[in-house]
Amino acid sequence: MTDKRIWWLLIILFLTGTASGLFLEFWFAGTEKRDIDIKQLEQAVQKRQLSLNQMLKSFPDGALFDAEDAWMVMDSISGSSNDLLIYRNNQLVSWSDQGLPVQDVHPVFLNQPFIQLDNGYYLVQQIQRDPYLLVGLFRIKQSFPYQNKYLKDGFLLPSGLSPSVDIVRDQGSGYEAVYGLEGEYLFSISNLTIRQHSHSANIYILISYLISVLTLWGIILMVLQSTRQSRWINFRLAFSIALFSVFYYFMFWHADMSAFSNLDLFSPIHFAMSDLLSSLGALLLLAVWILLVSFLFFKFFRWPEFLAGIDNKRLLTGAVFGLFFILVQVWMLFIIKMIYQLVEHSSGPSVFFKVIEINEIAVAKIFILAILFFSFLLIAEKVIRLFLFRLSRPVMCLWIASATVI
């Protein structure tokens, strides 16, 4: 394919991606609301009760008397949405989720089919296998000790039910009552308002915007490639990075990223730390931007013109190399800080994962780590290449050690 055809292809893709993303966002990504019937909610609750009962009945008897087998079963259950507790003589001996706030809860409290704990509302089913009591739980609504724009209460069953819906344990409250499998009263609930989002539209918007920014990056790449011999290449590189960064920011971060709010990757439940990084998806997009900019720097940054006269001055060249390498180490500290923020503000594991914990969220976190470290390698290699034929290797190692000490 000729360069001219590549140019036209990139321009067409850029315009198509931008136009289609904006069209989908403003016409199909709106939030609608509709009411659901109380029977729909009851059916969902009763279906979950059946799931809890099946989990309890399928628990192997032999695992009750073998601690190692019991914890293996617990590990397998931890990957599901259900939770399991095992009591022996009113003492908690095994659990599937250490995050459950049941340390001070007596098993008598768990005789109720529906309970409220510190982190939400739970359906409860149990089965007695003397001297053991098996208790299955499923959280239908999550709650946080405090709420802000990132951490908010929300329903897990049914998904999307407005957090403003109230749950009470009072049949005479005037709210609509919800009953379980055996006709037992569970709870009462206020107006059933569920938010309906166009999930597929959110995905298409994200794909469209990604096509738009990647094709713009490709256009910038070809422009810089055609002028890489120019003495002004570093200024053009800086201008191109600034232009790309502004476009990238407004494509994804406009309107507080509301265009992707219905995607699980952009939910603050998994990660949230600031307005800019309000979700794991936002952090992933930032990591992609860092990688794209790092590649442009690696590909097109040239030895500055104002330093052209120091090639014969070994000491001055070494000092400039030391300064460059200090900047590389500052960049490494920035990368490490981002990884620290990922770990600190994530609701689950961020670096080490069990096999059963590998899902799309875990893959996104691994991808973020890989992108950040690869971007550092690009910057570091570029600095090394700039000085590879200007300094001997022993001198470079000496300056690296000095910069590290500083």
- 93-98's contacts with Cβ under 8 Å and 24+ in sequence apart are 94/67, 94/70
CA–CA separation, 243 and 306 (whole Å): 25
| CA dist list (Å): 33 to 25, 162, 178, 197, 258 | 17, 9, 22, 9, 16
pLDDT by 10s per residue, the chain, length 406: 677 888 899 999 999 999 998 888 887 644 444 456 677 788 889 999 999 999 999 999 888 888 888 888 998 898 888 999 999 988 899 999 888 888 888 888 998 999 988 888 999 999 998 889 999 999 998 876 655 555 567 777 766 666 667 788 877 656 788 889 888 999 888 755 444 445 678 888 999 999 999 999 999 999 999 988 888 899 999 999 999 999 999 999 987 787 787 787 887 777 888 878 888 999 999 999 999 999 999 999 987 776 766 655 677 777 888 888 889 999 999 999 999 999 888 877 677 766 666 778 888 999 999 999 999 999 999 998 988 877 777 777 776 777 666 6
Q: Tokens standing for 365?
A: 């976190």
pLDDT at 309: 62
pLDDT at 192: 54
Q: For the chain, how far is it from start to end, CA to CA, in angstroms?
A: 50
pLDDT at 101: 87
- By three-state DSSP, how is residue 40 classified? helix
Place of tokens 């016409």: 27
Sequence-ordered list of residues with C-beta below 8 angstroms from that of 5, at least 6 positions apart, any chain: none
Q: Tokens standing for 129?
A: 């296998």
Sequence-ordered list of residues with C-beta below 8 angstroms from that of 394, at least 6 positions apart, any chain: none
| CA dist list (Å): 5 to 9, 249, 283 | 6, 28, 34
Q: CA triplet 365, 370, 371: central angle to 5 degrees?
A: 95
pLDDT at 34: 47
Place of tokens 């009470």: 168
pLDDT at 194: 46
pLDDT at 127: 92
Task: Write down the pTM of the prediction.
Answer: 0.62
| CA dist list (Å): 30 to 81, 136, 154, 266 | 29, 38, 19, 16
Are the C-beta atoms of 311 and 323 separated by less than 8 Å? no
Q: Using CA of residue 160, residue 203, residue 216, residue 381, what is the dihedral sign?
A: positive
